[in-house]
């Protein structure tokens, strides 16, 4: 994590939401914005969903810029508070940089097709029908659960540990914990298993048991692959992302604070 920058070329992107578009209009004349391909950092106007969308687009394009979010959505967990004014560039240059490593998912379908996607928050395996999913869970090539009967299972990064993972009763992970949360979704067997904390260097694999009767889909953030046979997960250190936060309002502090919310 670092603090203090001197960005000389900034781009701006805004969601299609009316509030974000209005804010983009307010900021249009306050900064000499440049196109994304010429920028050193990008200002993102919208909510957490639009920030994730923007980060994924950068991963897909192969050109990843530091991202400074201004919240025009609801929660704004990945964002800074929106304040219009000429001090925006000063705020950005005083911001703290926090590195976030996404998960790399390689999913193989029952037809043998391979799909590679990245997840900033989590990868989830979910049953496709009313039938309970049955999934074999392996860590570093060793089978840890021969048959997990459940609605699904997920692996969350620290950045995503307060999202779906927390709703599924998974643990909140500090951003610098170097851990991944492996969390079952409505587990039936083993009845007492509530998940695991794994070093983020781990390679996690899932194999769907009886996929004809009990089909399972895999979702990396918002990208879904249906009728899967196997999924392999590991941290993609070559896709490191950088989020910029105002001092005192950074993602690591928000994650710690979430643990004290009743």
Reported as a single tens digit per residue, the pLDDT across 35-93 is 999 999 999 999 999 999 999 999 999 899 999 999 998 878 889 999 877 789 999 99
Give the burial string for 98-134 (b: 16+ CB within 10 Å, else e).
Answer: bebbbbbbbbbbeeeeebebbbbbbbbbbbeeeebbb
Residue count of the chain, please give it. 262
pLDDT digits (tens, 9 = 90+) for 167-224: 999 999 988 899 999 999 999 999 889 999 999 999 999 999 999 999 999 999 989 9
Taking 3-state DSSP, the helix, strand and coil percentages for the chain, each rounded to the nearest 5, stand at 20, 40, 40
CATH class of 2-101+240-258: alpha beta
Query: How far apart are the C-alpha atoms of 149 and 153, rounded to whole Å?
Result: 10
Residue 2 has pLDDT above 60, yes or no: no
Half-sphere exposure of 24 (CA within 13 A, CB side): 17
What band does 261 get if pLDDT is binned at 50, 70 and 90? confident
pLDDT of residue 251: 77
- Residue 170 is encoded by which pair of tokens? 């998974």
Give the whole-number percent of the chain exceeding pLDDT 70.
Answer: 98
Residue 106 has pLDDT above 80, yes or no: yes
2-101+240-258 and 103-237 agree in CATH topology: no
Residue 1 has pLDDT above 60, yes or no: no
Angle at 176 between CA 40 and CA 71, to 5 degrees: 50
Query: How far apart are the C-alpha atoms of 8 and 116, rounded to whole Å?
Result: 35
What band does 4 get if pLDDT is binned at 50, 70 and 90? low
pLDDT of residue 43: 97
The CATH number of 103-237 is which of 2.60.40.10, 3.30.420.40, 3.90.1720.10, 2.60.200.30? 2.60.200.30
For the entire predicted model, the pTM comes to 0.89
pLDDT of residue 252: 79
Active-site residue, 48 included: yes
What average pLDDT does range 97-112 have in this prediction? 95
Rg over alpha carbons for the chain, rounded to the nearest Å, is 20
Mean pLDDT of the chain: 93
Residue 260 has pLDDT above 90, yes or no: no
What average pLDDT does range 123-133 have in this prediction? 97
Q: Which of these, 68, 180, 44, 173, lies nearest to 122 by C-alpha position?
A: 180
pLDDT of residue 253: 80
What band does 152 get if pLDDT is binned at 50, 70 and 90? very high
pLDDT of residue 3: 58
Strands (E), the chain: 2-3, 10-14, 41-46, 67-71, 80-81, 96-100, 103-109, 114-119, 122-127, 133-139, 142-150, 152-156, 179-185, 196-199, 204-208, 216-220, 223-225, 228-235, 241-245
Helices within the chain (DSSP H only): 18-27, 48-61, 88-94, 164-167, 251-258
- Residue 70 is encoded by which pair of tokens? 């201004």
Which of the following is catalytic: 32, 48, 212, 252?
48
Residue spans of the domains in the chain: they are 2-101+240-258, 103-237
Give the whole-number percent of the chain exceeding pLDDT 90.
Answer: 82
């Amino acid at each position: 994590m670092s603090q203090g920058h001197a960005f000389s070329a900034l781009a701006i992107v805004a969601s299609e939401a009316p509030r974000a578009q209005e804010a983009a209009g307010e900021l249009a004349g306050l900064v000499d914005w440049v196109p994304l391909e010429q920028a050193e950092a990008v200002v993102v106007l919208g909510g957490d969903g639009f920030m994730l969308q923007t980060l994924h687009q950068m991963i897909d394009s192969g050109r990843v810029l530091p991202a400074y979010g201004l919240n025009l959505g609801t929660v704004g967990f990945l964002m800074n508070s929106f304040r219009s004014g000429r001090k925006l560039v000063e705020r950005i240059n005083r911001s703290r940089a926090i590195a976030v490593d996404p998960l790399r998912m390689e999913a193989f379908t029952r037809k043998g097709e391979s799909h590679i996607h990245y997840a900033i928050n989590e990868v989830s395996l979910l049953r496709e029908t009313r039938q309970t999913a049955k999934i074999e869970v392996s860590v570093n090539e060793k089978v840890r659960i021969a048959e997990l009967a459940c609605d699904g299972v997920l692996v969350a990064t620290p950045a995503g540990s307060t999202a779906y993972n927390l709703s599924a009763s998974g643990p909140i992970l500090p951003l610098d914990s170097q851990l991944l949360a492996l969390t079952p979704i409505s587990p039936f067997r083993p009845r007492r298993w509530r998940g695991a904390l794994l070093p983020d260097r781990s390679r996690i694999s899932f194999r769907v048991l009886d996929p004809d009767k009990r089909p399972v889909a895999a979702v990396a953030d918002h990208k879904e692959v249906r009728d899967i046979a196997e999924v392999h997960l590991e941290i993609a250190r070559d896709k490191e992302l950088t989020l910029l936060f105002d001092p005192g309002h950074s993602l690591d502090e928000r994650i710690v604070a979430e643990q004290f919310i009743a």
